[in-house]
Every structure is written in C-alpha cells, then in structure tokens.
Amino acid sequence: MTLLLAGDIGGTKTILRLVEFSETVGLKTLYEESFPSGDFPDLVPIVQKFLHTANFTTPEKACFAIAGPVRGNTAKLTNLSWFLDTDRLIQELGIVSISLINDFAAVGYGIFGLTKQDLFTLQVGKYQPAAPMAVIGAGTGLGQGFLIKHGNQYQVFPSEGGHADFAPRNELEFQLLKYLLDKHNIDRVSVERVVSGLGIISIYQFLRDQQIATESPEIGQAVRTWEQEAQKTEKTVDPGAFIGSAALQKSDRLSEKTIELFVAAYGAEAGNLALKLLPYGGLYIAGGIAPKILPLIQNGSFMLNFIQKGRMGSLLKEIPVHIILNQQVGLIGAGLCASRL
C-alpha cells in the first residue's frame, strides 16, 4: 500500500484527498477536505493544515491538478497570485515526490478510475484499444486534451484547443460571430467564448438582443445583475444555471433557443477534435455543464452536429462518445497520476 495525496487546486476552492493505492484495489479514499483558496497565501499552509487534521503519516507522493498552465515543474494559477514550484513544495512539505499537472490533464488520468456508472454513452462506436483517446469539457472555460498509448499505459497531454477559432456554420452562427466581435471590440472569437458557461450567457445575450424570443423577468434580472457585476471577481448570480434550468423545464423559449445553439456548437467542436485525433479509444465529454443538461444533449442535436462533417461523417460514427457524470474525475486523476510517479 502506498499513501498518496491528491489535490484539485482552483481559484475558488482547493480540494485535498488522502488516498491509499494498491495494484489490486486501486485508489481508496482515507480523508478529504475542501478549503477556500483565497483564504491562504499559498498551497503549502493548506496542505500542512490538511495533513495535521487528517493525522496520518506524511504521504510518499503527491499530485496537484492546477487550474492554470503548467510549465515544467512550475505553475501559476489563473485566478490566484500563487506561484507553485515542485522543488519548493517538496522541501517545505517533506513529500518525496510531487507533480503538478494541468487540471484537464487530471481529467485524462481520471478516466481510468471511472466505473460504468460514472459514464453516459452517447455513441457506442467501434472501440479500438490501441487508438488515441480524447477529452473535451465545457465549464468555466473549454478544456481539451488527448491520450496516446505507450506500452501498457497511456500518456496524457493537455492542450489549449479551446482557444482555437470559433467556426460558424450557418447564418445564425455567423451573426453570433459578428455580434461577439462588435460587442467585445476584438479581432477574433475563440470557440471558448461560445462553448462554455460564459458562452451560454453570450449566446443568450445575442438571441435577446436579436429579439428571437421574449425575455422572462426572472432570467432577465439574473442576466442584468451578472452584467452589472462583470468587472467583479465574485458574482452573486449564475445566469447560466437559470438558463439551463429553464431550458430543461421548457419554461422559457429564449433559454431553450440558447441551449439549442450551445449544444449544437458543443457537438460541432467535439467533432472537430475527433477529426484531428480519430480517438477510437473513446472521446470523453467532461466539465460541469453536460451532466446538468443531459436530457438536452441526449435529444440528438449534439451527436448530429458531431458527425456532420461531410465525407468524414462516416468515420465519426465509429468513435465511442461518453459523458463523464462523476464530477470528481480530476481528483481521481490526480491520485492515479501520483501513483505513477
């Protein structure tokens, strides 16, 4: 048995999990705790407090999934002033081996710790065990990554594919592109501006301003409050949640049209990633949004736009496509990554 520390380090909260690993059983959670990241000047005091409370011996290895770019052995968090360096962490925490990985890379590792109950299959496809795997996930932003088999294990690679250009495919999407260019006074629009939590709000604003449907008072107020707080780090309202809920309940036409456009763009971008990698090992949809609007993704629009790639559509029909339902996949991945150090 090996004692490991797994961490999911975000700008809002840090989740730490102490796990025991064995080749036969895999990961066994011993203790877990969540901390408000902004209350601490650095990761070190959080880990020290966690280990003191857990009252276990110092773990042999640790892996921390970081919400931000990881370069070599260092990481700078996107929404915090923390700068992390593995050499410093090893010295100050007394843990022999520590790894920092991108939070979406952690999702890639986490796939191998999921059960059938953690997945919803959109397309069975024709699984090929030696083929690449792909991960895409809309949440606060749009993460993308891929896995390549090397010997008996997969190597996980994050990417910044979410910052590639948004590619409109019909008149409405071309109008959305122009709307975003003009609204933000920018010279390009990334796909993340459309396929993400912020993207849902942007699509709603576009359809509202185009007067596609009448705005409901409740959702309208939520969006206006969010717009007024645009420059604030902490928001008091999440209009995306209101929009998604109303679309699920079919209680607001503007919200329904918003999620329809969002799901179509999401499926199309997942198809773009699949075309580039041909991940017959499986394409996995991560992030917090897909499970929350699962019935609206199941209705066929996502997969229709996924395979709508002209002559290449027949290839995409053979790719297994799964939605990850377990929102702790990143923590699971950090634990599995630590076990491989």
Asked whether residue 101 is marked as a ligand-binding residue, the answer is no
Cα–Cα distance, 341 to 337 (Å, whole number) = 7
Number of domains in the chain: 2
Instruction: Assess if residue 136 is contained within a domain.
Output: no
**Residue that wins the pLDDT comparison between 29 and 284:** 284
Instruction: Assess if residue 148 is contained within a domain.
Output: no
pLDDT tens-digit profile of 125-165? 999 999 999 999 998 889 999 999 988 889 999 888 999 99
Q: What pLDDT was estimated at residue 22?
A: 83
Instruction: Assess if residue 119 is contained within a domain.
Output: no
Per cent of the chain over pLDDT 70 is 99
**Residue that wins the pLDDT comparison between 79 and 272:** 272
Task: Give the CATH number for residue 249.
Answer: 3.40.367.20
pLDDT tens-digit profile of 201-213? 999 999 999 988 8
Q: Are residues 73 and 26 in the same domain?
A: yes
Q: Are residues 166 and 313 in the same domain?
A: yes
Instruction: Assess if residue 234 is contained within a domain.
Output: yes
Mean pLDDT of 10-24: 88
In the chain, at which residue ranges do the beta strands (DSSP E only) sit? 2-9, 13-22, 26-36, 61-66, 70-71, 74-76, 83-85, 97-102, 119-123, 133-138, 142-150, 153-159, 283-286, 321-324
Instruction: Assess if residue 126 is contained within a domain.
Output: no
Mean pLDDT of 335-339: 93
Q: In this structure, which amino acid lies at residue 94?
A: G
Asked whether residue 9 is marked as a ligand-binding residue, the answer is yes
Q: Are residues 171 and 108 in the same domain?
A: no
Asked whether residue 161 is marked as a ligand-binding residue, the answer is no
Instruction: Assess if residue 87 is contained within a domain.
Output: yes
Q: Are residues 209 and 296 in the same domain?
A: yes
- Domain range for residue 279? 162-324
Asked whether residue 12 is marked as a ligand-binding residue, the answer is yes
Q: Which residue has the tokens 């005091």?
A: 45
Asked whether residue 11 is marked as a ligand-binding residue, the answer is yes
Nearest to 34 by CA among 327, 293, 340: 327
Q: Are residues 188 and 97 in the same domain?
A: no
What mean pLDDT is reported for the chain? Answer: 92
pLDDT tens-digit profile of 220-278? 898 898 888 877 767 788 899 999 999 999 999 999 999 999 999 999 999 999 999 99
Q: Are residues 232 and 84 in the same domain?
A: no
Q: Which of 94-108, 226-240, 317-331 has the least mean pLDDT?
A: 226-240
Cα–Cα distance, 259 to 297 (Å, whole number) = 9
Q: Are residues 13 and 104 in the same domain?
A: yes
Q: What pLDDT was estimated at residue 78?
A: 73
Q: Are residues 280 and 291 in the same domain?
A: yes
Q: What pLDDT was estimated at residue 16?
A: 96
Q: What pLDDT was estimated at residue 192?
A: 95
Q: Are residues 90 and 219 in the same domain?
A: no
Mean pLDDT of 25-54: 91
Flag whether pLDDT at 100 surpasses 90: yes
pLDDT tens-digit profile of 49-69? 999 999 888 899 999 998 878
Cα–Cα distance, 79 to 81 (Å, whole number) = 7
Q: Are residues 227 and 175 in the same domain?
A: yes
Q: Are residues 171 and 315 in the same domain?
A: yes
Instruction: Assess if residue 242 is contained within a domain.
Output: yes
Q: Are residues 247 and 178 in the same domain?
A: yes
Q: Which residues, including other chains, have CB under 8 Å from residue 253's CB and lie 6 or more apart?
A: 213, 214
Q: What's the 3-state SS for 47-60?
A: HHHHHHHHCCCCCC
Flag whether pLDDT at 193 surpasses 90: yes
Give 74-83's long-range contacts (Cβ < 8 A, gap of 24+).
74/100, 75/100, 77/9, 77/10, 77/11, 77/37, 78/11, 79/10, 79/11, 79/12, 79/233, 80/11, 80/37, 80/38, 82/37, 82/41, 82/42, 82/43
